[in-house]
Amino acid sequence: MKFVIDASVAVRWYLPAEWNETSERVMDRVLKEPDAFAVPELFFFEVLAVLARTHPHPLETYTEAFLPVVEGGVFRHPMTAALAEHARQFQAKGLTGYDAAYAGLAAELGVVWITFDHHAHELIASEQVSADLGLGLPSGW
């Protein structure tokens, strides 16, 4: 099974106050099986924005720690018309535009979006395209 990684997962790798065992297990798997993961292009902007607000060394962490992890084979998906259409369907269910892009990418690829955003997951739980990592790793992990 493949997964779409939410920025809420990746930032936990670099913020000690947010770190948890589940996010570490995701990072370990990304390092071992990068081709099992995908992200929309906005993922990179979101991670940098959070690091810039919360990390004492945001640019160094982004370039020297984060990028080597995700540039090792994680699929970067551009914003296409097809992804926009998938995202629009999730916005209609109440997701923000950003969250809808992650869910839309998961739907387009036929995979699961892994996130720590409980509220977003709950809004679309019936669609079975997301997993709330706050509740543990998804089935098929």
User: How confident is residue 2, by pLDDT bands cut at 50, 70 and 90?
Assistant: very high
Rounded CA-CA distance 15/56 in Å is 10
Is the domain spanning 3-135 CATH 3.40.50.1010? The answer is: yes
Q: Report pLDDT digits (tens) over 5-38.
A: 999 999 999 999 999 999 999 999 999 999 999 9
Rounded CA-CA distance 83/96 in Å is 14
Q: What is the pLDDT of residue 64?
A: 96
Mapping DSSP to helix (H, G, I), strand (E, B) and coil, where does residue 56 land? coil
Rounded CA-CA distance 52/45 in Å is 10
First to last CA, the chain: 7
Q: What is the pLDDT of residue 139?
A: 85
- Give bridge partners of residue 37 from the DSSP assignment: 3
Whether residue 140 is predicted with pLDDT greater than 90 in this model: the reply is: no
Whether residue 58 is predicted with pLDDT greater than 90 in this model: the reply is: yes
Q: Report pLDDT digits (tens) over 80-138.
A: 999 999 999 999 999 999 999 999 999 999 999 999 999 999 999 999 999 999 999 99
